[in-house]
Amino acid sequence: MSTIGVVASATGGVEQLRESLIAPLLDRGHQVALTLTPTAAEWIASAERSELERITGLPVRSQPRRPGEPRPHPPIDVLVAAPASANTVAKLALGIGDNQALSVLSEGLGSTPMVVFPRVNAAHARHPAWAGHLETLRRASVALIEWGPRAADGRNLPWDRILGAVDGLSS
């Protein structure tokens, strides 16, 4: 059994985490440790957060632990950033770990197999720095799940491709 560290940003698709990513990973026999960006933690209702903690058996993190506190998550075998906002992708590529979610990703970049699903709009994708951020992640051997135009309602996200990439890295 692998421990999959899921990091989610506040962007479309975060509301689908339990049904589309967490539950399927658990069904595949993985342990799942979930960390949210601060804004994603605000977006997810407390009842949903409680349900995520119940089904994973681990606390949902969004804040760093205090000195002397034990690590609330076990060592991670594979990291998954999904959905990852443009902000999260850019900061990860630049090595900026200014919140718990980005610290988890930044510490794992280059040493822990990683899948990143950037969930960005066309304006972010046109930014002159965007291609460089993706190239930096590719050079670090990140499995990028690139996806075309976003559906306005967030349906048809490539959850199956994300799960397939995790399967390939965790076997």
* CB neighbourhood size of 159 (10 A): 19
42-62 tens-digit pLDDT: 999 999 999 999 999 999 999
Looking at the predicted structure, is the pLDDT value of residue 152 above 70? no
Average pLDDT, integer, range 21-32: 98
* Distances, alpha carbon 139 to alpha carbons 53, 55, 113, in Å: 34, 35, 13
Looking at the predicted structure, is the pLDDT value of residue 171 above 80? no
Strand ranges across the sheet with 143-144: 31-36, 3-8, 78-84, 114-118, 143-144
Which comes out higher in pLDDT, residue 155 or 123?
123
* CATH value of 3-170 in 3.40.50.720, 3.40.50.1950, 3.40.50.970, 3.20.20.70: 3.40.50.1950
Looking at the predicted structure, is the pLDDT value of residue 89 above 80? yes
